[in-house]
Copies of this chain bind each other. A is one copy, B any other.
Amino acid sequence: MDYRELSTPALTVDLDVLERNLDRYAELCRRQGVGLRPHTKTHKALEVARMQLERGAVGLTVAKVGEAEVFAGAGLDDILVAFPIFGGEKLRRLADIARQRRLLVALDAEATAQELSRAAAAQGATIGVLVEFDVGVRRCGLEPGPELVRLARTIEKLPGLKFRGLMSYFGNVWGTPEERRAEATRVAERVEKALAAFRAENLAVEIVSGGSTPSAEFAHLIPGLTEIRPGTYVYNDLNTYYQGACTLDDCAVRVVATVVSTAVPGRAVIDAGSKTLSSDLLGSGPKSGYGYVVEAPDAPIVKLNEEHGLLDITHSQHGFKVGEVVTVIPNHVCAAVNMHDEIFTVRKGEAAGCWRVAARGKIR
């Protein structure tokens, strides 16, 4: 069956494109001499995680304990929780995973380390810890310098914990290829500053984990980086496209939607709104619109209500008709995927199957 005959709205992934993206980044990391620990937040699917590990990923990244449980529960190993988990119930579950799988947790505060230590020790588990530092995102992470070493020393003394290295998120590497390259050199300076602090104190840093999709091609510019954690690269999206980090053909995920109304002049309405595409705005390129209509790029999606997508067709050459099927590339694929319980696989335009978005909704 042609995938455009799926009941709409339907989240779909082109398997040829997905496999090409996976191969490309596996090769990109090999060439740059860094490990690939993909962030699973983009796909949240066991099938894709397995494809990543089969292609040589050194492990997986998640943000929440519930996500770690999904992947660990399916037998996948070496999982980094790249989020400072706090709260007894979650930490107990985390320690439980650590008794069965290799687990790393990132944090940036002594209070968090102490809570984690208590939970690990109570269950006789050992949890590897990465100390998070900030390369300019201004989200989490300590300033590169002696503070980092102090926290690492504290962690070394806490039962149930093992200091393994450093983590940072390179979210500030964003924009055109030139902007991204320039920011990557600034990131490199901050990573070097962090590492210098550890060298000065003679403390070994086994893992230096960084990255994101837009920074992945600049990994070789960052000194001492041992692994990167891109997520979006598996599927790509409009944000990646407008940064020049992929082509539209590299966007593996499309939402199949039906035109349901053309009653209002200058408008076509599709059955995919914010509960299908997410409300995430475009952070690159034109920074407007809620997705790219493949069949009619001249018809911007100017507004989303919960279930309605509103296309401005005033300047479109495309004759929109009620009942017509269109396909939409989302602004931010991680947010769009998170709206769906399943993703339909497509091979050469034919509907091939369906994967569960198994870690969707695992916010705790």
Contact = CB atoms under 8 A, between A and B. Distances in A.
Nearest to A360: B361
A169 to B, nearest CB: 9
Contact of A263 (B63, B83, B141, B269): B141
A360 to B, nearest CB: 8
Given A63-B307, A84-B260, A339-B363, A7 B89 contact: yes
Interface stretch (A52-60, A104-112, A118-126, A183-191): A104-112
Copy tally for this chain in the complex stands at: 2
Contacts of A193: none
Could you tell me the dominant secondary structure of chain A's interface residues? Answer: loop
A60 to B, nearest CB: 15
B63 A267 contact: no
Interface in A326-364: 334-335, 338-341, 361, 363-364
Contacts of A111: 321-323
Nearest to A361: B341
A276 B87 CA distance: 17
Q: For A87, A272, A276, which residue has the most chain B Cβ atoms within 10 angstroms?
A: A87
Size category of the binding interface on chain A = 35 or more
A203 interface: no
A182 interface: no
A308 B83 CA distance: 9
Contact of A87 (B8, B112, B138, B142): B8
Contacts of A338: 275, 306, 339
Q: For A9, A281, A363, which residue has the most chain B Cβ atoms within 10 angstroms?
A: A363
A306 B63 contact: yes
A220 interface: no
9 residue pairs, one from A and one from B, having the closest CB atoms: A7-B89, A140-B261, A108-B263, A63-B307, A279-B279, A84-B260, A109-B322, A111-B322, A142-B263
A108 B261 CA distance: 7
Contacts of A266: 138
B323 A115 contact: yes
A306 B10 CA distance: 22
A87 B7 CA distance: 7
Nearest to A171: B305
Nearest to A111: B322
Contacts of A9: 363-364
